Amino acid sequence: MKIHREGYLIIAIGLFLLALIQTGNYFLFQFTGWLWLFILLSIGAIVMAYLIIQFFRIPNRTCSFEPNDIFCPADGKVVVIEEVEETEYFKDKRIQVSIFMSPLNVHANYAPISGEIGYVKYHPGLFLVAWHPKSSTDNERSTFVLKHENGQEVLFRQIAGAMARRICYYVQPKQKLQTGEEFGFIKFGSRVDVFLPLDAKINVKIGDMVQAKITKLGELK
């Protein structure tokens, strides 16, 4: 396991502030002698430090895939699988698969297929809760389209949630990605939507807990 580069500064600031709080806690204990309060605040500081660090963790995972495999781009829970009208890029019907990422999930995002980036678009917007039906179109979001070597295209979208206030991505048009290659990161709770061709095989169901680079979302025909 390693720590994602997006977390270096936040972790440093968080640990510094917690150290200041703990220093104050120590002097409070020296003044009052309240051991129970000192222990309680110390446990709270340790828990907060753990939560900050674990949010930016990146587990060691190997992605083994076949050419037409579609892998989950994010850790989380499958909350939507439905046929929808995709209005930003395809402007036709697609199968939407949405993965909700809680603050306890790994928040790095990975390419669901191999191919060339053909479209990148950032949209400012609202910060509705990530499971809200309109979050896919109204929230702050970034949209990407990967073109597979067989000619099919897959659209995937990072969506900010009520707690997510920064979407990070590291790709640009014409860039080639391999399945499971990191393309972005979302800070503090969010959602990722994937829009697949109607004839794509879906291997997951609503309510499934999935892992990026490990769970096979489906297959392209």
Active site residue 42: no
Higher pLDDT, residue 140 or 217: 217
Task: Band the pLDDT of 127: cuts 50, 70, 90.
Answer: low
Phi, psi of 53 (to 5 degrees): -70, -45
- 38, 29 in Cβ contact below 8 A? yes
CA distances, 165 to each of 38, 68, 104, 158, 178 (Å): 33, 34, 16, 12, 28
Would you give the distance in Å from CA 158 to the centre of its chain?
Answer: 7
* Amino acid in the structure at residue 219: E
What's the pTM? 0.87
Q: Which amino acid is it at 124?
A: P
Nearest to 204 by CA among 74, 92, 63, 116: 74
User: What is the pLDDT, as a whole number, of residue 129?
Assistant: 61
Q: In Å, how far are 11, 54, 73, 88 from 5, measured between CA atoms?
A: 10, 13, 19, 31
Is a pLDDT exceeding 60 seen at residue 130? Answer: no
Residue type, 104: L
CA dihedral 221, 81, 87, 191 (to 10 degrees): -110
- Could you tell me which residues are beta bridge partners of residue 108? 185
CA distance 24 to 28: 6
Of 98, 135, 142, 190, which one is the catalytic site residue? 190
**pLDDT per position as a tens digit, 34-70:** 999 999 999 999 999 999 999 899 999 988 899 999 9
